[in-house]
Chain A
Amino acid sequence: MRFLKKSPWILHYAATSCNGCDIELLACLTPMYDVERFGIVNTGNPKHADIFLVTGSVNEESRQVVENLYAQIPEPKVVVAIGACALSGGIFRDAYNVYGGIDKIIPVDIYVPGCAARPESIIDGIVQALEILEQRASERKRQRKLVAL
């Protein structure tokens, strides 16, 4: 599973984000920050993805979508919550249609703070996610070996 560390593919979903974090995330993919130099590719298909990036808090409609997308990403996977809303609901935590942070719905591994989160911190979050991904991959490998024995 070494290849994961070299080219993780990311899936992005804007739950109820205000777009601020989404455009910063897209900015990471473009020439100025260019995460593609690390082999990180943005994919539209959850089945190709390793890292799930969620921006914005969870509301009634996006709840199911987030759950579905999470279920469709193959193991091992890592979830990164980006921005104040994804962490806790942010400025919208009191609004009637907002459940709160992403971790109310799916397990979150990395929290990237900021409103809006800066591209540098998003990249930092993804790099930390890589380590977790690597750990999970080797753990799975170990378990497979145990089963094989």
Chain B
Amino acid sequence: MSKTTIVPFGPQHPVLPEPIHLDLELDDERVVQALPSIGYVHRGLELLAERHNFIEMAQVAERICGICSFIHSQGYCQGIEQLLGLKVPPRAAYLRTMWAEMSRIQSHLLWLGLSADAFGFESLFQHSWRIREMLVDMIEETTGGRVIFGTCKVGGIRKDVDAETLQRIGGKIREMESAFNEISHIFSIDRTVKQRTVGIGVLTAEDAHALGAVGPVLRASGHARDLRQLGYAAYGELDWEPIVETAGDCYARCIVRLREISQSIDLIKQCIDRMPSGEIEVTFKGKRPQGETMIRLEQPRGEVCYYMCANGGKNLERFRVRTPTFANIAPLVHMLKGCELADVPVILLTIDPCVSCNER
């Protein structure tokens, strides 16, 4: 029995854009145990619901995280709409779906770049961010913001997109698709990528279920579980299937995300083609949320839950967010056990940690 060493990983680390801290207990180069500790980004924004009224809170919800920003405000607004008994007009639902998918693509491309950087594949990092800029341009053209969209509000959306712009976006997304297919091909066949990812950090289907993994981590382990199948917003009317891989290793998680980008591009095209006309919001003058609800959505990183409890006042009584990264901590700790120290950044990145979501 050799002596173990504890190596701290983070909070400030070259592969991490965000602070998370891991204590890695090592036996030579092998990780015996990994203990994550968080709190570097904890702001306590759930309590801000006491300060901001339920309409303003959508802005706070959007800033839970700058990467999945739109989906956070969408989830919050869906919850309030459920409490108020509102039904969003179809055009608003389709535009929400379109923006949510744009948000997903930019998040996955961002992740793709960061993980390429973690493998030491710098040029792939630059290329995926170049393509991401094409998408961010489309976001800016339709919403006005680059990362914080600010277009979702209780009862609908804040800003309509005219037919001409939609058509232009349709053209641009095709352009982006061909550029993306190029790097997607490189990513899936490259030897360097495969050497760093195949067979690393395997999460079996049973473990993924038992540990409560969500999102691409769960789908890479063979579970076809995507919360968009609940059919919220316009997902019930669009044609798509959850993407599943079975290997459960880092490579499978990469492939799931790559295929999801293609799927999201397809969903955006469908949204543009089938975009209904009409109102973009419903009014709810004087109504106050009452009761409680649990809303679940699929974020780029997996299932997010919002629990809201209101008692007819201006402010919510309790606002609770359970983000996908929080659910993926337990699988992460499990995967890190027994891996090599050099693989830690790769495994950590393939769960796509979003620390500011995680800690709220």
Docked Cα-Cα span, A60 to B41, in Å, equals: 9
Q: Is the CB of B45 within 8 A of A56?
A: no
Q: Chain A residues near B130: list those with CB within 8 A.
A: 30-32
A7 at the interface (CB under 8 A from B): no
Q: Is the CB of B354 within 8 A of A19?
A: yes
Q: Which of A16, A62, A90, A118 has the most CB of B within 10 A?
A: A16
Select A91's contact among B14, B47, B59, B145, beta carbons within 8 Å: B59
With contacts A30-B126, A62-B41, A96-B47 known, is A23 near B19, CB below 8 A?
A: no
A111 at the interface (CB under 8 A from B): no
Q: Using a Cβ–Cβ cut-off of 8 Å, how many residues does chain B contribute to the interface with A?
A: 41
Docked Cα-Cα span, A14 to B16, in Å, equals: 10
Q: Is the CB of A92 within 8 A of B39?
A: no
11 cross-chain CB contacts under 8 A = A14-B41, A19-B354, A30-B113, A31-B126, A46-B12, A59-B43, A62-B19, A65-B11, A92-B45, A94-B51, A95-B48
B171 at the interface (CB under 8 A from A): no
B147 at the interface (CB under 8 A from A): yes
Q: How many cross-chain pairs have Cβ atoms below 8 Å apart between A and B?
A: 131
Select A23's contact among B47, B48, B66, beta carbons within 8 Å: B66
List 9 other contacts, CB 8 Å, given A22-B17, A65-B11: A17-B356, A18-B356, A23-B147, A27-B133, A45-B14, A92-B43, A95-B44, A96-B44, A116-B145
Q: How far is the CB of A61 from chain B (nearest CB, A)?
A: 5
Select B147's contact among A13, A20, A97, beta carbons within 8 Å: A20
B146 at the interface (CB under 8 A from A): yes
B18 at the interface (CB under 8 A from A): yes
A69 at the interface (CB under 8 A from B): yes
Q: Chain B residues near A19: list those with CB within 8 A.
A: 17-18, 65-67, 147, 354, 356
- Residues from 110 to 151 in B contacting A, C-beta threshold 8 Å: 110, 113, 125-127, 129-130, 132-133, 136, 145-148
On B, residues with C-beta under 8 Å from A are: 11-14, 17-19, 39-45, 47-48, 51, 59-60, 63-67, 69, 110, 113, 125-127, 129-130, 132-133, 136, 145-148, 354, 356
A24 at the interface (CB under 8 A from B): yes
Q: How far is the CB of A115 from chain B (nearest CB, A)?
A: 6
Q: Chain A residues near B145: list those with CB within 8 A.
A: 116
Q: Which of B13, B40, B65, B146 has the most CB of A within 10 A?
A: B40
The proximity string for A residues 89-128 relative to B, scoring 1 for CB distances below 8 Å and 0 otherwise, is 0111011111000000000000000011010000000000
- Residues from 54 to 95 in A contacting B, C-beta threshold 8 Å: 56-57, 59-62, 65, 69, 90-92, 94-95
A26 at the interface (CB under 8 A from B): yes
Q: Chain B residues near A13: list those with CB within 8 A.
A: 12, 19
A44 at the interface (CB under 8 A from B): yes
Q: How far is the CB of A101 from chain B (nearest CB, A)?
A: 14
Q: Is the CB of A24 within 8 A of B113?
A: no
With contacts A22-B18, A32-B133, A44-B13 known, is A16 near B41, CB below 8 A?
A: yes
Q: Chain A residues near B51: list those with CB within 8 A.
A: 94
Docked Cα-Cα span, A16 to B63, in Å, equals: 11
Q: Is the CB of A22 within 8 A of B12?
A: no
A10 at the interface (CB under 8 A from B): no
Q: Chain A residues near B59: list those with CB within 8 A.
A: 91
Q: Chain B residues near A22: list those with CB within 8 A.
A: 17-18, 66
Select A61's contact among B14, B39, B148, beta carbons within 8 Å: B39
A21 at the interface (CB under 8 A from B): yes
Docked Cα-Cα span, A15 to B129, in Å, equals: 23
Docked Cα-Cα span, A60 to B146, in Å, equals: 29
Select B19's contact among A31, A44, A65, beta carbons within 8 Å: A65
Docked Cα-Cα span, A16 to B41, in Å, equals: 4
Q: Chain B residues near A32: list those with CB within 8 A.
A: 129-130, 133
Q: Chain B residues near A118: list those with CB within 8 A.
A: 146
Q: Is the CB of B147 within 8 A of A24?
A: yes
Q: How far is the CB of B166 from chain A (nearest CB, A)?
A: 24
Q: Chain B residues near A31: list those with CB within 8 A.
A: 126-127, 129-130, 133
Q: Chain A residues near B69: list those with CB within 8 A.
A: 18, 20
> What 8 A-B pairs are tightest by C-beta distance, nearest first?
A20-B66, A44-B14, A30-B129, A19-B66, A32-B133, A31-B130, A97-B44, A20-B147
Docked Cα-Cα span, A19 to B325, in Å, equals: 14
Q: Is the CB of B41 within 8 A of A23?
A: no
- Residues from 1 to 48 in A contacting B, C-beta threshold 8 Å: 12-24, 26-27, 30-32, 43-46
Docked Cα-Cα span, A44 to B146, in Å, equals: 26
Docked Cα-Cα span, A46 to B11, in Å, equals: 13
